[in-house]
Amino acid sequence: MRSVVATFLVWLLVASAQPPAPQKAPSTAKGFKFEANTELVVEDLIIKDKSGKPITNLKPGDFVITEDGKPQEVRFAEFQQLEDTTVPLPEPPPKALEARAPAAPTPAVKPITGVEIAPEKPGDIKYKDRRLLVLFFDMTSMPIDDQIRAQDGAKKFIKTQMTKSDLMAIMTFASDIKVVEDFTEDRDQLLKDVDNLIVGEGQGLDEQVSDDSSEDTGAAFTQDDTEFNIFNTDRQLSALETAVKMLGTLNEKKALVYFASGMTRNGLDNQAQLAATVNAALRANVSFYPIDARGLVASAPMGDATKSSPGGSGMYTGSSSRAGQSNFQGQQETLYTLAEDTGGKALLDDNDLAVGIQQAQKDISSYYILGYYTTNEKLDGHYRSIKISLKDKALQAKLSKFDYRRGYYAGKEFKAYTSTDRERQLSEALMLGDPITDIDLTMEIDYFRLAHDRYFVPVVVKVPGSELELARHGGAESTTIDLLGVIKDANGKQVQNFRDYVPFKLKGETAQDLSKHSVEYDSGCVLAPGSYTLRFVARENSTGKIGTYDARFVVPDLGAESKGLPISSVILSSQRTDLANAVFNAEKDKKLLAANPLIEDGKKLVPSVTRVFTKSQEMYVYLQAYEPAAETMQPLVATVSFIRGRVKTFETAPLQITDGLNPTSKAVPLKFSVPLAKLAPGKYTCQVSVLDPVGRKFSFWRSPVVVLP
């Protein structure tokens, strides 16, 4: 399915359909505003005695926590006991395999936006009594043989060694970081994800050596690849840093299993990035479990048959062999450092790569989740060090393991956010299970047939002007709104996304009366018939307030309608606005604008999302009727009625349609202009009726509307 964004427009809508606010007498009373900010800090603590058994039955009063040297009160201490019994994945019976007919290949729908790690709310324990394991495949460091070996090790663990407590996520790094699968216990899906990894991806960035162990290529000059190696190693470490930051939104302990064929540090040149990666892992409560995908290597003195022998005197003095062995050990030493500094363990020189995942599984067998409200209420984003100990010093002296996160970064006020912080905030709001509703949003989703398998779907979002905080710049009032939205199909796959940054300026009376107006954003995409869900997030960038709107909608297959007369969505509007008057217009491609049936002769029919009108307005009604099997136009008759209770209070004269059939979409546009002056103020049911006299088919549509004085 190929989705096409048709148009991005923002309109400032007059609020003539809203009753004027009553004037209030000035009050002499003084108001008082009370505010309190608290920040819940969650720590995961692994405690084991010298026999490797976890210490249980500890209470909040048994722990001592200090933050930057100041004592903190432990509010809760929750022990997480995880299942250690493995449950092998049952093999399908042979008869079922023989009887299974080969399925017809279905075209894969590539999502426009990638999978993400769904975050948690602060203090929320989303994955209680679950073990979180991440399989991270560094495709840039592994040759093809090692990539296959890593896949086999991962599949072996998933099939035979997962427990009921295990949740696994899959990430890859080739040209960039990709989250293949969020945390799930679905083994079949995990196996499918591992099988779908592209063998050979990320090749061409192999480590180049320039010492006595380098191969003789026969070239007259061999350049020094040191700078390239520094850059390549920094990319690998930076990818790990990005991954752990994604995981940092989860409060539970996480283990990242890193498949790689070693990692070479170039003296102190990569030290800064290594420190940044380790620190990010500690802050995010992530332990690295690196696995050397090369397995047990028995290297020949002059190298194996995959490369040429080194030239020069080093072949005879033994320096080539020593340099090669030193390089190999240096690559493993970096993996060992990542594990040791973050509380994990490295699997080196072992052909059974699944053992490395088992080690991560074993280490996170049980732990405590501690929580406290910090006494430092400053939202400055600074790093705060944490120290945890037991009141019972004798017990602590008998422990063999006492691991926890040594610090964290405090929260920030929105005005102190960097561009990265702001983007992350929007992404997290999009992924949260519970929507954020600081800003009220309303939305309308419609559909219009373009062809037998494609429909144009306009999406209209309205934001009340009273929700916006304006700042003065250059004599004009200006504000910005960040918009982010995702459409998913019935299988949960993302098929369309919306991402926009909308700056606009308002002058004079328009700026002063913004609280009586609404800002409307509309976009559109092309979808196939089916069921979909949409989540849309809007953020006002002066205060950082966020609004979320969730919707389920269906794009019907109107071509399959045989009994009734198929029609599109019905648009009710009170405004036709020139495109040139849009406050913001991000898409000026005439071909894309032409796909929107609500745009005609340079004017846009602005849908009334709330369907509230006044007597002084005219109501514009637009819809399309479809004649899928017709080669020539069949006459249609349509009317618009207003019903109050059981009484029809008004009906337009019948509209006779004899031409206008679109040969591609088989659509016949129907347009009405209904003066509302004849209607008394109140609530009505608006009904649109369409009749095909020749085919003896009809259709009608109803919606509540409100008419104000």
DSSP string for residues in 426-461: HHHHHH-SSPPBSS--EEEE--EEEETTEEEEEEEE
In a domain, 605, yes or no: no
C-beta of residue 358 within 8 angstroms of C-beta of residue 157 = yes
Mapped onto helix, strand or coil, the DSSP state of residue 342 is helix
- Residue 171 pLDDT more than 90? yes
CB 586, CB 526: distance < 8 Å: no
Report pLDDT digits (tens) over 532-563: 999 999 888 888 888 888 889 999 998 887 78
- Burial letters 406-440, b for 16+ CB under 10 A, else e: eebebebebeebeeeebebbbbbbbbbeebbeebe
Cα 305 from chain centre = 45
Same domain, 72 and 195: no
Q: Are residues 267 and 181 in the same domain?
A: yes
Query: Where does a domain end: 383, 414, 445?
Result: 414
pLDDT value at residue 66: 95
Both 351 and 392 in a single domain?
no
Q: What is the pLDDT of residues 607-631, one digit of tens each?
A: 888 889 999 999 999 999 998 888 8
Give the whole-angstrom CA distance, residue 20 versus residue 330.
75
249 near 305, Cβ under 8 Å? no
Find the DSSP H helices in 519-646: 590-594
Is the distance from CB of 239 to CB of 306 less than 8 angstroms?
no
* pLDDT over threshold 60, residue 207: no
165: amino acid identity, one letter = S
Any domain includes 520 = no
User: Which of 379, 399, 414 finishes a domain?
Assistant: 414
Residue 253 lies in a domain: yes
Q: If you search the block for the tokens 């995981």, which residue do you land on?
A: 247
Which residue did the predictor score with more confidence, 274 or 387?
387
* CA 62-68-72 angle, 5° bins: 35
550: its two tokens: 């969730």
What's the token pair of residue 477? 């009032």
Burial class (CB in 10 A: 0-12, 13-18, 19+), 72: buried
* pLDDT value at residue 14: 45
- The percentage of the chain sitting over the pLDDT mark of 90, rounded to a whole number, equals 28
Q: Are residues 404 and 255 in the same domain?
A: no
Same structural domain, 75 and 185: no
What's the CATH number where 171 sits?
Answer: 3.40.50.410
User: What 3-state class would DSSP assign to 262?
Assistant: coil
Residues in the chain: 709
Give strand pairing partners of 526.
456
Domain span holding position 402 = 42-83+368-414
Residues 6+ apart with CB under 8 A from 119: 249, 250, 428, 431, 432
Say if residue 246 is in the same domain as residue 329.
yes
Residue 343 placed within a domain: yes
pLDDT, tens only, 658-709: 888 888 888 999 999 999 998 999 999 999 999 998 888 899 899 999 999 8
Q: Above 90 in pLDDT, residue 190?
A: yes
**Which pLDDT score, from 0 to 100, does residue 686 have?**
94
Alpha helices in 547-674 (DSSP H): 590-594
Parallel, antiparallel, or unpaired for β 612-614 and 618-626? unpaired
DSSP summary character for residue 105: P
Q: Which of 246, 256, 86 is nearest to 168 (CA)?
A: 256
Residue 578 lies in a domain: no
Bigger pLDDT: 267 vs 132: 132
Residue at a domain's end among 399, 414, 429: 414
CB 285 within 8 A of CB 167: no
The CB-side HSE value for 645 (13 A sphere, CA atoms) comes to 2
Q: What does the angle CA 524 – CA 439 – CA 570 come to, to the nearest 5 degrees?
A: 35
Residue 114 banded pLDDT, cuts 50, 70, 90: low
- Both 355 and 373 in one domain: the answer is no
- Residue 374 confidence (pLDDT) above 80: yes
Q: Is residue 467 part of a domain?
A: no
Q: What is the pLDDT of residue 137?
A: 94
pLDDT at 226: 45
The amino acid at residue 565 is L
Confidence band for 379, pLDDT divided at 50, 70 and 90: confident
Mean pLDDT of 226-254: 78
Q: Is the pTM of this model over 0.75?
A: no
Taking the C-alpha atoms of residue 625 and residue 690, their distance in angstroms, rounded to an integer, is 8
Share of the chain above pLDDT 70, in %: 75
- List the structure tokens of 203: 């090749």
> What CATH code is carried by the domain that includes residue 679?
2.60.40.10
Convert the pLDDT of each residue in 480-525 to its tens digit: 888 889 999 988 888 888 888 877 676 666 666 666 777 788 888 8
Answer whether residue 60 shows pLDDT above 70: yes
Predicted local confidence at residue 48, as pLDDT: 86
Same domain? For 329 and 405 the reply is no
Q: Both 329 and 239 in a single domain?
A: yes
Q: At what angle do helices 187-195 and 144-160 cross, to 10 degrees?
A: 170
> Both 138 and 193 in a single domain?
yes
**Could you tell me which residues are beta bridge partners of residue 79?**
368
**HSE-up (13 A, CA, CB side) for residue 660:** 14
Whether residues 79 and 187 fall in one domain:
no
Per-residue pLDDT at 321 exceeds 70: no
Given this model, what pLDDT does residue 269 score? 60
Show the beta-strand stretches assigned E in 58-152. Answer: 63-67, 70-72, 74-81, 131-138
- Looking at the structure, tell me whether residues 277 and 344 fall in a common domain: yes
Neighbours of 216 (CB within 10 A): 13
Q: Say if CB 341 and CB 43 are below 8 A apart.
A: no
Buried b (16+ CB within 10 A) or exposed e, 590-619: eeebebbbbbeeeebbbbbbebebbeebeb
Q: How many domains does the chain have?
A: 3
Q: How big is the chain by its Cα radius of gyration, in Å?
A: 32
Farthest-apart Cα atoms in the chain, separation: 105
Residues paired with residue 412 on neighbouring β-strands, in sequence order:
380
Provide the token pair at 328. 């190999």
pLDDT digits (tens, 9 = 90+) for 11-42: 555 444 444 444 444 444 444 444 555 677 87
